[in-house]
Structure 1
Amino acid sequence: DLSLLRFISAELTRGYFLEHNEAKYTERRERVYTCMRIPKELEKLMFFGIFLCLDAFLYVFTLLPLRVFLAMFRFITLPCYGLRDRRLLQPAQVCDILKGVILVICYFMMHYVDYSMMYHLIRGQSVIKLYIIYNMLEVADRLFSSFGQDILDALYWTATEPKERKRAHIGVIPHFFMAVLYVFLHAILIMVQATTLNVAFNSHNKSLLTIMMSNNFVEIKGSVFKKFEKNNLFQMSNSDIKERFTNYVLLLIVCLRNMEQFSWNPDHLWVLFPDVCMVVASEIAVDIVKHAFITKFNDITADVYSEYRASLAFDLVSSRQKNAYTDYSDSVSRRMGFIPLPLAVLLIRVVTSSIKVQGVLAYVCVVLFYCGLISLKVLNSIVLLGKSCQYVKEAKMEEKLFNPVLTATPGKPAGKQQSMFKSNQG
């Protein structure tokens, strides 16, 4: 006989056994452990990737000028020895000279862009309009990065293509002008981004900075509910690495401009410090939450980030081989979408306009600073190469370095990288 008292008693004393569905609960527990491991594994990948971007970025300021000087010296002196059958310049030297010339031309072109006028023009806009502009700039930056490396690669290949082959291109000069135009426009785009961020830092109520930071959390909504394969997550991780490094450089530019306005008063640096920390912390938090839920919804383990790191390390080690088909900085550009030339043009423009060099002592300081940058670049490259060899060895990918089957042609670098990564997943 059923009664209300019996029903309540049964509800209070009813038992159940979780071990009857052990597999389900074990899987749920592993998901929790995976989410707990994501921050550590993701930041290890980010840390390695950011230093890869830093290495490619420092290359533009340190080794590239020296390589251009050596290439020009060879170009001037080699005909004196009567070596007519040999090339005047090797393909790598031609590419170095092209990069150097593009850098110099775009730097002088940037002098015609008035930063102060741009700052006051942006500052006069409403908060909502600036928020929309900043979102449009982020989209435009991704589009520029995706197409920009193709423009530069087309120039390098057109300038170094063997003469005996049938040429199906418009010529080196048009490609060169396209590359100069691209780098100049991309540098202006990044300058507008930095100016908008500077306006947000200097706003009295910080409302614009808060809205721009909240835009990072909107990114979570657009990512976590999509279907992701391991290859898609790898591309997204590379994009996040590039975005984080670019934001660090933008913050550096904002700090330089603000310190110049306050006559390099060190007290003002502490005024900027909380906002800088807030922007960096929000970026890290968004990346962690985004990757944690993507891996959860797509049943991807945290170990995949070690595989991604090994793949990036494989790129670095491959570019150091004698038969490498690309420079390391270009390899980073193709993999992560990080193109250092526009960012370098803007940083040189900001530094030269913010810091005045006068007197012998000032020039000595510049030379010492340049030597310090070279030392940092060499040290960073040595450490990265050592860690990369370690990661490649741990992933058991050494044989792929010497396997001619996986060596891509210069025209298809992306296919080589994808096949290597997919084989690593298997």
Structure 2
Amino acid sequence: MADDPNYLFSVGKSPMKYFMEEMFSGNSLRSTTTLGNEKERERVYDTIFRLPWRCELLIDVGFFVCFDSFLSLLTIMPARVLMTFWRLLNARQFKRPSAAELSDFGCFIIMACGVILLERTDISLIYHMIRGQGTIKLYVVYNVLEIFDKLCQSFNPDVLQTLFNSADGLANSQPENMSFWIWRYIYDQGLALAASIVHSFILLAQAITLSTCIVAHNNALLALLVSNNFAEIKSNVFKRYSKDNIHSLVYFDSVERFHISAFVLFVLAQNILEAEGPWFESFLFNALLVYFCEMVIDIIKHSFIAKFNDIKPIAYSEFLEDLCKQTLNLQTEDAKKNLTFVPLAPACVVIRVLTPVYAALIPCNPLPWRLFWIFLLSAIT
């Protein structure tokens, strides 16, 4: 140690001399930090200002794309199915349905069966079973359901693509191969039906769990939001992502935002039917709290993911451009960059929830007035 020049230098320096050197040697944190440059300054402002609003804009646009697909399923698809049946009934000879008509028919069967099964589900029983759990158990239940929801989001589009492929094959098959394609279409229809029904029950259970937390008076909602959202940050922020992975992650957040809207609608319907006393202010506060927490967590998550992976804010503008091209049915270079959303399961849950609300609020008037109230309530909800 005596031969070490640094050791001799440190021994030979007096405390006063060391103190004076520290006083006049510049930045006091120079030993643990480095001098920044213009690039580092840009990264700071990208993380705080430029990226959050672009990210939120992209998620919101993705939400409305999902909402458009959801409304199309509830309005355009049934009308197309009715037109197809009307054409088949009025035709003098049988005409093979097209691939689009077979696809619409398959989706209609899935949605109808899902609604029928959910109608037979006792929501009150599930609600009281979940309500009897503690706050920690509610957090565990919600996270387990969320994991299965994401698995279904990843699996169900592939199943539906398989069904559409079989519909296309059946519509364009030769007469000698007709039997093969019919059975293939039936098998794929059954698989898509099972997958969609499972997803519907998962979403219904999630909605009931969130409703339980909102109705509870022991800060269960706040505990659920804090634990769930910070677990999401922990599981996503400190990982390496490519640009394509971040692109897919934003779309997952858009779909999640739409599912949360369906859950909030479920809570609203339950309050309309069962709540006593003034409840709307409490519901509105809790709903805004859920949306605010989700928005803040998504912004924090994407800001730091972009920071750690050196993703510029302009990338989110490129993602938005790709989403606009998808919405306008313009061909993109990579189909994997498209927003994939299957609204069948959320549609089943929403129909199951709104049916008793319509039954309770539509007055017992003649048919024209009933139709008027149906259209009015449909426009409101």
- TM class by shorter chain equals 0.7 to 0.9
Residue 173 of structure 2: aligned partner: 163
Residue 259 of structure 2: aligned partner: 246
- Please, which runs of 5 or more residues in structure 1 have no aligned partner? 17-21, 325-330, 377-426
Aligned identity (percent) is: 30
Aligned pairs for 1:187-266 within 5 A: 187-262=200-275
Contact 2:78 2:108 in 1 (8 A): yes
Aligned pairs for 1:9-20 within 5 A: 9-15=20-26
Aligned pairs for 1:271-282 within 5 A: 271-282=282-293
Q: Does 1:51 align with 2:51?
A: no
- What is the distance in 2 between the residues matched to 1:163 and 1:305? 43
- Please, which runs of 5 or more residues in structure 2 have no aligned partner? 1-11, 28-33
For residues 53-95 of structure 1, give each alpha carbon's deviation from its aligned partner in whole angstroms, at most 9, with x where no partner exists: 11001111221121111121222223x2x5x7xx532211221
- What is the distance in 2 between the residues matched to 1:5 and 1:237? 57
Residue 281 of structure 2: aligned partner: 270
Once the 2 structures are TM-superposed, how far is the Cα of residue 14 of structure 1 from its aligned partner? 2.4
Once the 2 structures are TM-superposed, how far is the Cα of residue 310 of structure 1 from its aligned partner? 1.0
- For the residue of structure 2 that corresponds to 1:14, the secondary structure is coil
What is the number of equivalent residue pairs in this alignment? Answer: 352
- What is the distance in 1 between the residues matched to 2:318 and 2:232? 25
Residue 338 of structure 1: aligned partner: 341
- What is the distance in 1 between the residues matched to 2:287 and 2:168? 44
Answer with 211-220 or 27-36: which moved more. Answer: 211-220
Contact 1:194 1:254 in 2 (8 A): yes
In 2 relative to 1, CA 218–15 (structure 1 residues): closer, same or farther, beyond 3 Å?
same
Once the 2 structures are TM-superposed, how far is the Cα of residue 169 of structure 1 from its aligned partner? 8.9
In 2 relative to 1, CA 29–170 (structure 1 residues): closer, same or farther, beyond 3 Å?
same
- What is the distance in 1 between the residues matched to 2:293 and 2:22? 46
In 2 relative to 1, CA 45–23 (structure 1 residues): closer, same or farther, beyond 3 Å?
farther
Residue 295 of structure 1: aligned partner: 306
- What is the distance in 2 between the residues matched to 1:193 and 1:26? 46
Structure 2: which amino acid aligns with 1:77?
N
- For the residue of structure 2 that corresponds to 1:219, the secondary structure is helix
- What is the distance in 1 between the residues matched to 2:148 and 2:221? 20
Q: Normalized against structure 2, the TM-score is what? A: 0.84
Answer with 152-161 or 286-295: which moved more. Answer: 152-161
Aligned pairs for 1:395-414 within 5 A: none
Q: Does 1:105 align with 2:125?
A: no
In 2 relative to 1, CA 256–213 (structure 1 residues): closer, same or farther, beyond 3 Å?
farther
The root-mean-square deviation of aligned C-alpha atoms, in Å, is 2.8
For residues 327-382 of structure 1, give each alpha carbon's deviation from its aligned partner in whole angstroms, at most 9, with x where no partner exists: xxxx99x9444320111011111101233133232332213555x58xx9xxxxxx
Answer with 278-287 or 124-133: which moved more. Answer: 124-133
- For the residue of structure 2 that corresponds to 1:296, the secondary structure is helix
Residue 359 of structure 1: aligned partner: 365
- What is the distance in 2 between the residues matched to 1:299 and 1:213? 27
Q: Normalized against structure 1, the TM-score is what? A: 0.76
In 2 relative to 1, CA 178–274 (structure 1 residues): closer, same or farther, beyond 3 Å?
same
Aligned pairs for 1:58-69 within 5 A: 58-69=71-82
Contact 1:158 1:171 in 2 (8 A): yes
Contact 1:154 1:175 in 2 (8 A): yes
- What is the distance in 2 between the residues matched to 1:246 and 1:9? 63
- What is the distance in 1 between the residues matched to 2:87 and 2:346? 29
For residues 210-237 of structure 1, give each alpha carbon's deviation from its aligned partner in whole angstroms, at most 9, with x where no partner exists: 2344211111111111111101110111
For residues 110-139 of structure 1, give each alpha carbon's deviation from its aligned partner in whole angstroms, at most 9, with x where no partner exists: 222111111111112232222211111001
Q: 1:153 aligns with which of 151, 161, 169?
A: 161
- What is the distance in 1 between the residues matched to 2:242 and 2:160? 30
Aligned pairs for 1:70-89 within 5 A: 70-78=83-91, 80=92, 87-89=95-97
Residue 124 of structure 2: aligned partner: 116
- For the residue of structure 2 that corresponds to 1:339, the secondary structure is coil
Tell me which structure has the larger Cα radius of gyration.
Answer: 2
Once the 2 structures are TM-superposed, how far is the Cα of residue 44 of structure 1 from its aligned partner? 1.2
